Structure 1
Amino acid sequence: MKLTFWGAAQKVTGSMALLTLEDGYQVLIDCGVDMGNFSEDDPIYPNSSFPFDASLVNVVCLTHAHLDHSGKLPNLYKEGYEGQILCTSPTASLSQILLEDSARINQRKLKTYNKKKSKGHSLDQFNFLPENLYTEGDVANTMQEVVPIQFGRRFNIKPGLWVTFIPAGHLLGAAHVYIEADDNGERKTLLFSGDIGRENYPLLKDPSEVPQADYVVCETTYGNREHQHIQDSALEMLDVIKRTCVDIPGRLIIPAFSIGRTQAVLFELHKLFVEGKLPPIKIFSDSPLGIQSNRIYDQFSNHLNQDARDFIEDYDSLFNFENMEYVLKQSDSKAISNYNEPCIIISSSGMMEGGRIQHHIQANMENPYATVLMVGYSAEGTMGARLRDNEGTLRLGKEEHKVHIKVEQTDSFSGHGDKNDLIRFIQQQDKTKTKQIFLNHGEEESMVTFKNTLEDLGYPNVVIPTKGHEFII
């Protein structure tokens, strides 16, 4: 059999790996969007979204809902895929709302594109092909093919092929994917890490132990660094709030992914509130998608950790408390700019590449009394990365803006495991039995550092694939 890496190869986003069995049966593990590079390179045919023939794929195994793992699933069906998507139940629910939101954004992009085209304007500014923008109807067709699989169930895909989803932490429903395949009379096993979570993370259970595998694909987002201690996240948040909303007073803007990061931040704020530590200031949660995600977290509360379940029992809600205001209408979102009291604004997207966060940042770009607290990773080329790395000015569209807004960053809310968590994941493998370890989903420096770390620990055959790199296993 062979394993080909079509995404997240020496990059953090766009996860996509294709496993081809000896009989030609194809398993696609994740089908994500590259969040930092929106051009489609190396298509199998003109206007395709993929460098392989989608119609030849037989089944998809999805590790979790984030768009850099799920965001191109509707494109797969548009290009002839006829199989099923296997994932956990929470992943199915979260993927649906994420893909629906992505489809609505696509249609706004298409409307702008067609308007420019009809007026004979240059289309060079658009980094997409209109044919590749899927609709909510495409998402509905996609979700009809999802088959929810319980954690820990050894699911028989076809004779001689099994998959097991193992809790990975990181996000509600996120899984490591363990595949067993009979190949010419030999049983071969592969373990795909997906995104590895961290221990003691707000709301989520710790990652579960994983079985021994012949081949391991491991993410390396934080392969060269350690996080701040997770127990400091609430204290760090409290310190930032005091400095930015009480001492000045000003406003704190938190760009956060609607699914996962927003819930962790809201939960920590709620805990500070019930402990009497949170200053009496307004908190705006400005993400309709985040509100939908909150409901799914409530729906699947049995998947959350004991601390979260106990909190629900004591306070009836994870995310609703005094001074919290959920913003639904776009007009109300823009009206926040006229709110003159100190406040906290939590809005998406985390990398600032879309969503309401953009108008909050733009409205406060030159406000020295505003602070942006970045609580997650921003891929190179995204607005989040450009703001983080700004040198006093930032171009938005055709305009150059002076940057007076303060920018702070923390990784204490990151859902990704750090170097120690990744080592812990790999060390569950017997180095005399694992034949090869593939590193993906990371920047080159992080991958190289983690490769050296594993080799120092005695793990042989650690490789860093490039895009399109094919391995016979």
Structure 2
Amino acid sequence: MQISFHGAAGTVTGSCHLVTVGNLKILVDCGMFQGGHELKEENVGDFGFDPASIDVLLLTHAHLDHCGRIPLLVNRGFRGDIICTAATRDLARLVILDSAHLHEEEARRRQRHSEKGHKHQPLYDTLDAVMSFDHFNRIADYGVPIRLGHDASAIFYEAGHILGSASILLSVTEDGRNRRILFSGDIGPSDRPFLSNAQPPGDADIIVMETTYGDRNHRSLEASVDELLEAISDTQARGGNVIIPTFALERAQELLFFMNEGIKRDILPQDLRVFLDSPMAISATKIFRNHPEAMTREIAEQIRSGQDPFSLPELEFTRETAESMQLNHIHSGAVIMAGSGMCTGGRVRQHLRHNLAHEECSVIFVGFAAEGTLARIIIDGAQSVKLFGDHIPVRARIHTINGFSAHAGKKELRAWHEKNRTPDITFLIHGEEDARKTFAKGLKSERIEFPTMHQSFEI
């Protein structure tokens, strides 16, 4: 029995883990590496295993760094089933299609600027994405065992991270020896407006655990909402625009909800112009409405009764590129939410190009920014950044509000781990090195490992 790590091992992205039990090969997640050039090269490289040998892929949730290389996996030979919750299936299809489109755009852009005769191919294209959807054949319900093979089963548990997210408990037997292996996936914070709290199963021999915020805690949600509304109000008073680099899944919907609450409380004006400039976030919001079963009872009841928790009086959806470009002519009074959250691509880069240099404007970061991303560079205090070949001075006010994170902080991560009995081994993954080492201190586990890329362990 063996476990090997082929992503998120020493980094925060690219989750991909392989469990081998006899002749059965179970992959957990197959995510995209995000960040600097070196990490992007990992995406085109070898997986570290033969995709054709994988029997089944268990998907914890629909974020790109957990599902983004699935089309590449299929393209290189994977023929098994992908198992996930219904909400994850719908969101993952959306995320993968959007990713394919961005890869195609990037390849075309590079082609325009390359020497004649040099061909640039996307990592995968729209057809690859669509072909991969044929493998989403089995749906998991929380708490219900799913048979994977003669001596293997899996149970999905609420992770509280994004809609449909799950921790996965594998039960595998080899030579009469049973091992219960718990993959945390990404764990969400407690008491969010839409999702139930994470529900660890409480009994695992081995835990494979994320440590994204293993070295720090978040501000309270209440304080973060207050800071968000104050930053928007202040920018309105200064006559500028607010740019919010937005993750399309969960974060966009939460921000709409909290801004709506701000309008109801008369903190924000009724005529506040809010633009959701993200086709993926617009579609994700529709998917949210279609899956009340994956939300808290209160929000589910609102949706079923015809109320819309994501509506605003002056909310505008900008799906088309031409509509997005028109926002560049708005110089004050707008709140523009656009992807991507780490500013690695998408429409937000164009909005940063037109607003970063203006003192009356604000940029509000409300999520994790991995090392090497444009978001992290701005957060870390860059005086100027390069966008579309131009050096843009950073004069806008920069706000970093980490209380909106869809990730649990150090205290909640530790509490989640402690709800399980003391495991034989805890593998700490999906975190930067300092976060992993800090989180390991005092952790109750017989053995703690810090896996590196493509490292294997006998379990």
Judge same fold: TM > 0.5, yes or no. Answer: yes
Counterpart residue number, 1:402: 393
Deviates more, 1:202-211 or 1:256-265: 202-211
CA distance in 2, matches of 1:201, 1:239: 20
Residue 62 to residue 37, structure 1, CA distance change in 2 (3 Å): farther
Pair 1:70-2:56 in alignment: no
Cα distance per residue 1:79-135 (max 9 Å; x no partner): 0111010110000000001101111111112223333446367x9xxxxx72x6212
Deviation at 1:391, TM superposition (A): 3.1
CA distance in 1, matches of 2:79, 2:221: 43
Deviates more, 1:213-222 or 1:136-145: 136-145
CA distance in 2, matches of 1:3, 1:450: 22
Residue 340 to residue 117, structure 1, CA distance change in 2 (3 Å): closer
Counterpart residue number, 1:28: 27
Q: TM-score, normalised by structure 1?
A: 0.92
Residue 371 to residue 341, structure 1, CA distance change in 2 (3 Å): closer
CA distance in 1, matches of 2:221, 2:84: 28
Q: Is the contact between residue 282 and residue 324 of structure 1 (CA under 8 Å) also seen in structure 2?
A: yes
**Aligned-partner SS, 1:290:** helix
Correspondence for 1:448 among 389, 414, 437: 437
- Aligned letter for 2:146? F
Correspondence for 1:277 among 264, 267, 278: 267
CA distance in 1, matches of 2:143, 2:305: 30
- Aligned letter for 1:258? A
Q: Is the contact between residue 168 and residue 183 of structure 2 (CA under 8 Å) also seen in structure 1?
A: yes
Counterpart residue number, 1:470: 456
Pair 1:90-2:87 in alignment: yes
Q: Is the contact between residue 451 and residue 463 of structure 1 (CA under 8 Å) also seen in structure 2?
A: no
- Aligned letter for 2:279? P
Counterpart residue number, 1:437: 426
CA distance in 2, matches of 1:411, 1:142: 34
Deviation at 1:30, TM superposition (A): 0.5
Pair 1:110-2:110 in alignment: no
**Aligned-partner SS, 2:201:** coil
Q: TM-score, normalised by structure 2?
A: 0.95
CA distance in 2, matches of 1:174, 1:66: 9
CA distance in 1, matches of 2:389, 2:156: 46
Deviation at 1:252, TM superposition (A): 1.1
CA distance in 1, matches of 2:79, 2:296: 36
CA distance in 2, matches of 1:357, 1:82: 36
Q: Is the contact between residue 2 and residue 472 of structure 1 (CA under 8 Å) also seen in structure 2?
A: yes
Counterpart residue number, 2:445: 459
**Aligned-partner SS, 1:337:** helix
Cα distance per residue 1:259-312 (max 9 Å; x no partner): 121111111112222333322321111111111000000000121113423544
Q: Is the contact between residue 19 and residue 25 of structure 2 (CA under 8 Å) also seen in structure 1?
A: yes
Counterpart residue number, 1:79: 76
- Aligned letter for 2:393? K
Deviation at 1:326, TM superposition (A): 1.2
For residues 299-378 of structure 1, the aligned pairs below 5 Å read 299-312=290-303, 316-378=307-369
Deviation at 1:315, TM superposition (A): 6.8
Counterpart residue number, 1:126: none
Deviates more, 1:52-61 or 1:315-324: 315-324
Correspondence for 2:281 among 287, 290, 296: 290
CA distance in 2, matches of 1:42, 1:233: 36
Deviation at 1:170, TM superposition (A): 0.6
Counterpart residue number, 2:377: 386
Q: Is the contact between residue 251 and residue 369 of structure 1 (CA under 8 Å) also seen in structure 2?
A: yes
Residue 40 to residue 200, structure 1, CA distance change in 2 (3 Å): closer
- Aligned letter for 1:85? I
Counterpart residue number, 2:403: 412
Pair 1:207-2:193 in alignment: no
Q: Is the contact between residue 202 and residue 268 of structure 1 (CA under 8 Å) also seen in structure 2?
A: no
CA distance in 2, matches of 1:453, 1:364: 45
**Aligned-partner SS, 1:325:** strand
Structural RMSD (CA):
2.0
Cα distance per residue 1:213-243 (max 9 Å; x no partner): 1100110011111111123332222111122
Counterpart residue number, 2:174: 183
Q: Percent identity?
A: 30
CA distance in 1, matches of 2:372, 2:266: 40
CA distance in 1, matches of 2:376, 2:41: 26
CA distance in 2, matches of 1:320, 1:230: 20
CA distance in 1, matches of 2:291, 2:335: 27
Cα distance per residue 1:118-162 (max 9 Å; x no partner): 6367x9xxxxx72x6212221121111112111111001111100
Q: Is the contact between residue 35 and residue 372 of structure 2 (CA under 8 Å) also seen in structure 1?
A: yes
Structure 2: where are the runs of 5+ without partners?
A: none
Counterpart residue number, 1:256: 246
Residue 391 to residue 42, structure 1, CA distance change in 2 (3 Å): closer
CA distance in 2, matches of 1:192, 1:29: 8
CA distance in 1, matches of 2:39, 2:134: 26
Pair 1:141-2:138 in alignment: no
Cα distance per residue 1:356-414 (max 9 Å; x no partner): 10100001121111110000011111111122224312122433222112211011110
